Amino acid sequence: MALRDLRCCTSFKAFPSEQFLPLLLTLIRRLNHGSSVEKASDCCLWDGVECDEDTGYVTGLDLGSSSLHGSISSTSSLFQLVHLRRLSLGEITELSHLTSLDLGRNVDSSARNLLELRSFDLRRLARDLTGIEHLDLSSVNISSTVPDVLAKLSSTAIYRVLIPSSLGDLTGLGYLNLGHNNFSGQSITSLQESINWEQFRYGSRTLTQLTLVHLRHNELHGPIPESMSKLVNLEELKLEYNQLSGTIEFSIDNTTLPKFKYLALGDCNLSEFPEFLRSQDELIYLHLGRNKIQGQIPKWLGDIGHKTLSILILRNNFFTGFEQSWELSLLTKLQWLELDSNKLEGQLPIPSPSLVGYSISNNFLTGEILPSLCNLRSLGFLDLSYNKLSGKFPNCLGDFSDSLLVLNLSNNFFRGGVPQVFRDESSLRMIDVSHNQLEGQLPRSLTNCRKMEILDLSYNRISDKFPFWLANLPKLQVLILRSNQFSGSVKSPDTMLEFHKLQIIDLSYNNFTGILASEFFQTLRSMRFSDLKEFTYMQTIHTFQLPIYSRDFTYRYEINLANKGMYMKYWQIPNVIAAIDVSSNTLQGDIPQSIGTLEMVNALNLSNNHLSGGIPSVLGNLAKLESLDLSQNMLSGEIPQNLTQLTFLAYFNVPYHKENNSILSITAHTRVTQDCTWNIRQRNLNVLRHLRSIQDSPKHQGFNNILTKDNEWIAVVIGYGSGLVVGVVAGLRVSSRIPEWFVKTFGKEARQPKERRG
């Protein structure tokens, strides 16, 4: 019986009518305008509808022979039936002229909610839909066996198939994408045997039409077999991020060797530069990153790539230099170059003026930046960090600001001042010149960088007043001034100034003095409320339009940030994090009441100042607070009771004044939940032994004034009940016992690392 003829009862089972009935009615009426299904019906009694007897959830839907027509869009009520386990589209195979069938999804590679098909009749599909040109089953986990009859799909235009099982003889295959699957324990050779690469025949005509093969992000092992080189029309081969043996069985003398345009062999355990590339003079994209290639970058790469090579990725290898000192400027079409994390020595190589992105961080480059760098007028990304470069910044770096998006010169030995000239309407979004030897004042022309999001000037010798004028940058999210020679008050001269987007501000280890003014916290507008609509990372994305398709390159920002009593490296900065650090200055007075309005703050560090008075109860308003450090001040009184209601708080550093034998007392009413952990941190490990003696005590969920003879301060961990945004990102873990990591972490002084990326 057709759905339009159904009549249903008025009773409902174990669920309210408003939950599923409107969804089914909407779906049916959208696909069949003649439907007369009544609202009062029990949809579990309809033909074609199956429900779970216990829960009443709709688990099966058969739309076969239902006279339905129209489209099912991404907003269809069908996709709100989240408990659906069986869906039949019935007579879809009657569509004999169908040329495109898309059951795939565009999902992030880390997503776990992929569609799994356990019963999928591909045999009938392949038998009846012989005209199919586009079959997309991407990100679908099909556990059934794919039949040999699929080989009857004879069109030469099939360009996307993603099926993690035997494919048979796909005689018309033009585009094969098996990326992001799990071929555990298989080699490319065994995969080829199931696909039967070399037997593409159709009548008397050879159909080696395959132009693209994607096998990236699998667990394939073994060599890259010679038989793949016989796919003469192959233009794009992506094998990166597998467990291959590092052997490529291609021969440079092979007359059938295809002319690759896009070749990705990253993370394939290669130990030498592939020789077969000598004949690849049509390459547009070459990715050999994350391998074990040693020695010098061959000179012939400049010969074969000078006309076409646009993107070259050689990061994370062991290259030491360029054979015969050949110059990167030979690659006249090069737009993107990644040489990070190698062993390159000598002066900074200067590529072609066509370059848009240049990253050569984490090497051993020395000397000054050559003036010829100023010829790279198209630069959008420049990352020279973690080297041994010295001298002054070229003044032309300010001139680049109309095209430059990211400038990272951190962890070098540059001296002098920050370039004084930044053009109007600058495109700069990030400047990181931390860990250098820069001096002088900040250039006021930075106010021209109105797209600036990240400004990191930490660990230099910059001497200036607090730059409240940076509040004129409407998109500034991160401001790091740590460990410089800034001085004076942090009171705003203009009560109307506000940092509209600022989420992270670090003023620690400077020479700021005077009262910790209430006006300072009032300028932090974005920490009072948030208009964020989704979780993401602070980053810049650049899109290259290449032949055939476009390519996105993402530069994610990173920072060092004091959190939970130690400095952490954030390789990715969540857009939801908000932190204030004014520690290790000479700030005085009471803790301002205005702090209580900053409801979005996750980490607050006021330690090592001259603050006095008590802890204001308004801190209990900071519902998202995870880390609070008030140590090494002159605070007194009791801990406000409402701080125990901060369910995210995972680190609370409370001062103890040994010189006058006074402490900030933890009153009897200061209690936390049973799953809380109390951590005491001090310089004497006796406290850890003390803590072990009480960790199994039934009273460990709350106690008063636990001290040992040599205590200088107490760290109290309270309320780990709702999960930590910051802690999870940093890979921390808190449990209800005292684990080994606690001893390792808190049994020594927190470090301020200056690490190298690798």
Write the single-letter amino acid at 426.
Answer: S
- Concatenating the DSSP letter of every residue in 392-411 gives EPPTHHHHGGGT--EEE--S
End-of-domain residue from the set 133, 153, 173: 153
- Is position 134 within any domain? yes
Q: What is the largest CA-CA distance in the chain?
A: 98
End-of-domain residue from the set 49, 72, 89: 89
Nearest to 547 by CA among 309, 269, 238, 219: 309
- What does the radius of gyration of the chain's CA atoms come to, in whole angstroms? 32
- Is position 409 within any domain? no
- One domain for residues 10 and 31: yes
Give the percent of the chain with pLDDT over 70. 57
Q: Is the pLDDT of residue 588 over 90?
A: yes
- One domain for residues 108 and 135: yes
pLDDT of residue 564: 67
- One domain for residues 105 and 35: no
Over residues 54-112, the pLDDT tens digits come to 777 778 877 655 555 555 555 555 666 667 766 666 555 555 555 445 554 444 434 44
- One domain for residues 102 and 148: yes
Over residues 674-699, the pLDDT tens digits come to 233 333 333 223 333 333 333 334 43
Unique residue bearing structure tokens 């004129």: 472
pLDDT of residue 51: 82
- One domain for residues 43 and 113: no
- One domain for residues 64 and 142: no
Q: Is the pLDDT of residue 205 over 70?
A: no
Residue 206: what are its φ and ψ, rounded to 5°?
A: -80, 125
- Tell me the pTM: 0.70
- Is position 243 within any domain? no
DSSP E strand stretches across 282-356: 285-287, 294-297, 311-313, 318-322, 336-338, 345-346
Nearest to 345 by CA among 315, 303, 389: 389
- One domain for residues 66 and 17: yes
Q: Is the pLDDT of residue 724 over 50?
A: no
Unique residue bearing structure tokens 């579990």: 44
- One domain for residues 126 and 141: yes
The most confident of 343-352, 566-575, 642-651, by mean pLDDT: 343-352
- Is position 184 within any domain? no
pLDDT of residue 214: 77
pLDDT band at 607 (very low <50, low <70, confident <90, very high): very high
Q: Is the pLDDT of residue 246 over 60?
A: yes
Tokens describing residue 146: 């794919």
- One domain for residues 23 and 67: yes
- Is position 435 within any domain? no
- Is position 120 within any domain? yes
CA–CA separation, 21 vs 38, rounded Å? 10
3-state secondary structure of 727: helix
Over residues 498-525, the pLDDT tens digits come to 899 999 999 999 999 999 999 899 899 8
- One domain for residues 7 and 81: yes
Q: Is the pLDDT of residue 368 over 90?
A: yes
End-of-domain residue from the set 153, 170, 202: 153
Q: What domain range includes position 122?
A: 94-153
pLDDT of residue 539: 76
Give the percent of the chain with pLDDT over 90. 32
Over residues 262-291, the pLDDT tens digits come to 999 999 899 999 999 998 999 999 999 999
Unique residue bearing structure tokens 């070098």: 412
Residue, of 178 and 323, whose pLDDT is higher: 323
- One domain for residues 85 and 112: no
CA–CA separation, 636 vs 659, rounded Å? 14
Helices and strands, number each (H, E), in the chain: 9, 48
- Is position 326 within any domain? no
Residue, of 237 and 101, whose pLDDT is higher: 237
Q: Is the pLDDT of residue 666 over 50?
A: no
- In the chain, the number of structural domains is 2
pLDDT of residue 52: 78
Mean pLDDT of 11-17: 36
Mean pLDDT of 588-606: 93
- One domain for residues 74 and 7: yes
Write the single-letter amino acid at 654.
Answer: V
pLDDT of residue 185: 47
- Is position 23 within any domain? yes
